[in-house]
Amino acid sequence: MTARPRVVVTGMGMVSAAGWTLDETWAAIAQGREGLRALSLFESQRCGKLPVGEVTGDPARRSGLASGSRSDHFAVWAARQAYADAGLDAGAFAADRGAVVLGALTGGMVFTEEFLARLHLEKVVDGRDLSDRACCNSADRLAELFGLGGFRTTVSNACASGGAALGLGCDLIEAGEADVVMAGGVDSLNRVVLNGFNSLMLVSTDGCRPFDAERKGMSVGEGAGVMILESEDHARARGARVRAWLAGRGNTCDAHHVSAPQPEGNGLREAMRLALEGAGLPPAAVDYINAHGTGTADNDPVEARAICSLFGDRLPAVSSTKRFFGHTLAAAGAIEAIVTVLALEHQAIPPNLGLRTVDPKVALAPVTEYRAAKLDVAMSTSLGFGGNNSAVLFRRPGTWETTP
């Protein structure tokens, strides 16, 4: 039986409230500079004063698209960075061997909202094309722009979408369906998301404080993260730089509640265990976990229980980076996976910004200051509505060539 090909990361790109590039993002992380700020994108009576992870600047100028939703612009900009970072060009792969898998939830929701506002408030039936409202539009844009003529899909697993999309990207490479996969996640701020989370009383009035005893909830954000995934053989053959090995991933479903996680974190623990199993590593091999850590009452203790029960008394370093860019929904798993790879590259642990006193229900000691550390293996976790959990595990180049 042929061994599973290793899936490696050869390119990355991202945009969030922490910055428009990898370098800007890491600089914000290293300096402990939070990205949350007052909402300016639209007016909101109830949510206008809530700190959000809003991306400032003109995304259309970055993407170069003449049309499209805010999500489309973010996705294209992140993809442009990733494509360039991977050193790809039109001749690097056959079109039908290039795939795109993007996690997305809300797409161009603002177009739907504008249409309905005209319909109900102005009694104007506006027949303009609403096709850019679909959440699959961003993946279509990437496929068209980058000549990805193979498998194409949009994963919509709530806030675990980004991690799930990376996992599916691995599936495609391992199954021989693709040589190059553009995988990641995207989402943008809109009224539905902000008011929706606020109606559930999940949004913090003073910005998220993951794992803190006095945390008041999450902060909604926006952005995109895109990785270029390839089989290691394909990457080596074209002389590409390998940034990391996506060595394992796990996806599970709690089947417990439509919006709340299973209290003991069984599903997340299983997702992390599957990621380790796929990588052929024991829990003790993990040096760092970039936790989902939203700052909600439910999420943080559940995640801590899952981590503690799997890793026991050999806990890896843990931090949540949500206060740098907010909870970017479908993009979260991808953006935080990129941060995790950057942590491996920089050999440093991002700080858990906003944490002052650890919640007694959280048996973790999240890292609060940016600090250097020897990191060979790192994991990123995501949880979503519907009980969706995902975990992706990365290894640093130079750490597996000698592995039997």
Q: State which H helix or E strand residue 377 sits in.
A: strand 377-384
Write down the least CB distance from residue 75 to another protein, Å. Answer: 14
CB nearer to another protein: give 385 or 400.
385
What is d(CA 72, CA 178) in angstroms, rounded to the nearest whole number?
23
Write down the least CB distance from residue 175 to another protein, Å. Answer: 5
Write down the least CB distance from residue 265 to another protein, Å. Answer: 13
Tell which residue, 205, 214, 208, 207, has the closest CA to residue 295: 208
- Contact in structure between 120 and 102 (CB atoms under 8 Å): no
Could you confirm whether 159 is annotated as catalytic? yes
Q: CA end-to-end span of the chain, whole Å?
A: 17
Write down the least CB distance from residue 298 to another protein, Å. Answer: 14
Catalytic residue among 73, 135, 208, 327: 327
What is d(CA 315, CA 341) in angstroms, rounded to the nearest whole number?
19
Kindly write down the DSSP assignment for every residue of 292-323, as one continuous string.
-----TTHHHHHHHHHHHHHTTSPPEEEE-HH
- Contact in structure between 15 and 170 (CB atoms under 8 Å): no
What is d(CA 371, CA 159) in angstroms, rounded to the nearest whole number?
28
Write down the least CB distance from residue 398 to another protein, Å. Answer: 25
> CA torsion sign, 378 to 153 to 86 to 322?
negative
CB nearer to another protein: give 1 or 372.
1
- Contact in structure between 188 and 19 (CB atoms under 8 Å): no
Residue with tokens 């003109």, as numbered in its chain: 58
Measured in residues, the chain has a length of: 404
Q: Catalogue the E-assigned strands of 105-189.
A: 152-155, 180-187
CB nearer to another protein: give 31 or 40.
40
Catalytic residue among 47, 135, 159, 208: 159
CB nearer to another protein: give 27 or 200.
200
CB nearer to another protein: give 88 or 159.
159
Kindly write down the DSSP assignment for every residue of 37-61, as one continuous string.
EE--SS--TTTTTSEEBPPPS-HHH
Could you confirm whether 120 is annotated as catalytic? no
Write down the least CB distance from residue 148 to another protein, Å. Answer: 9
DSSP state of 369: S
CB nearer to another protein: give 60 or 253.
253
Catalytic residues: 159, 292, 327
